[in-house]
Amino acid sequence: MLVSQQDESDNPVPASLQVSDEEYQQWQKDIGAISLPDPVFELIFTLRQQLDKLPNAPYVSDRRWKKAIRLLQASAFFSGRDAVAPIDLILLKDCLWYDAQSLNLMQQQLEILMTGHAWQQQAMLTRLGGIVQRRLQLQQQQSDKTAFTVIKQGGMFSRRPYYTLPPEASASTLTLLLQKPLKLHDMEVIHITFDRSALEMWLTKGGEIRGKLNGIGFAQTLNMEVDNTQHLVVRDISLQGTRLALPGAAEDSMPAEIKQHLEALENDWRQQHTRFSEQQHCLFIHRDWLGRIEASLQDVGEQIRQAQQC
């Protein structure tokens, strides 16, 4: 440039590509008219809060934030949108730093924002966690209702309580279902067949109890107990336990309440993914960022689908 002989008054840009003063002034007006939706403002506020909590974060004055928002409006305008979108916020990494350390920090914080909050990723995962917790509560309630219950006996002067079978358990052999399959004696077990007299003896006197795993072969020794709610619990070698239930009592279907909540969450996920797909047309964002955001959304979607299949 120092030795260039080109006349400074010459414009090397072809006339068809030159921006006139009138066009430039119109751009300034149009950029100022680009709106900043409340959800995007909330994301900016979240970013400011994140930065305020970090000891080495760059100081960003209100004046600089105002200029940064103008940049976001310009990004939306030249990308053909009438409002700033979350995708535009990635550009903040280029204007809110002052050295290499703060540049890296800004990129890290923006990645957290884009992959965790900009399209409700973390909020959806939090909702999913609440739904899963509620499902576990309902399953526990259902387990209490369907579990095989024995009758506690023994007077106040008895050394130890003993139990008897309920009236509905009158057959000479009893088949009880595991509410959750367990691996017993190297076999995946879903039900156990007991000799009624042997089970009565165990309930009365304790000692060893045997049962046929899945109703086949010889009777095998079992680690079984009566819990404090008078339900029979069988345990595997790692002491994981499950209650036993009479055939026809187990209920494996997903509760309607849980199914409805998961469907609503999946619908919200689809809406967020659609919004992201529509906003991908941004002239100033590298495709690496789009890939990371897509991966974060797909991870949320996969967790929702897994919950629906359980």
Domain 121-130+254-309: CATH class, spelled out: mainly alpha
What's the rounded mean pLDDT across residues 88-97? 94
pLDDT at 180 over 60: yes
- How does 104-116 read in b/e, with b if 16+ C-beta sit within 10 Å? ebbbebbbebbbe
Q: Tell me whether the CATH fold assigned to 121-130+254-309 matches the one assigned to 149-245.
A: no
Does residue 172 surpass a pLDDT of 70?
Answer: yes
DSSP tag of 288: H
DSSP state of 86: G
Domain boundaries, the chain: 18-116, 121-130+254-309, 149-245
**121-135, 164-178, 229-243, 291-305: least confidently modelled range:** 164-178
CATH of the structural domain 18-116, one choice from 3.30.40.10, 1.10.3720.10, 1.10.8.80, 1.10.10.10: 1.10.8.80
Phi, psi of 62 (to 5 degrees): -60, -35
- When comparing pLDDT for 113 and 56, which is higher? 113
In this structure, the chain runs to a length of 310
The class (CATH top level) of 149-245 is: mainly beta
Residue 282: what pLDDT? 83
**pTM of the predicted model over 0.85:** no
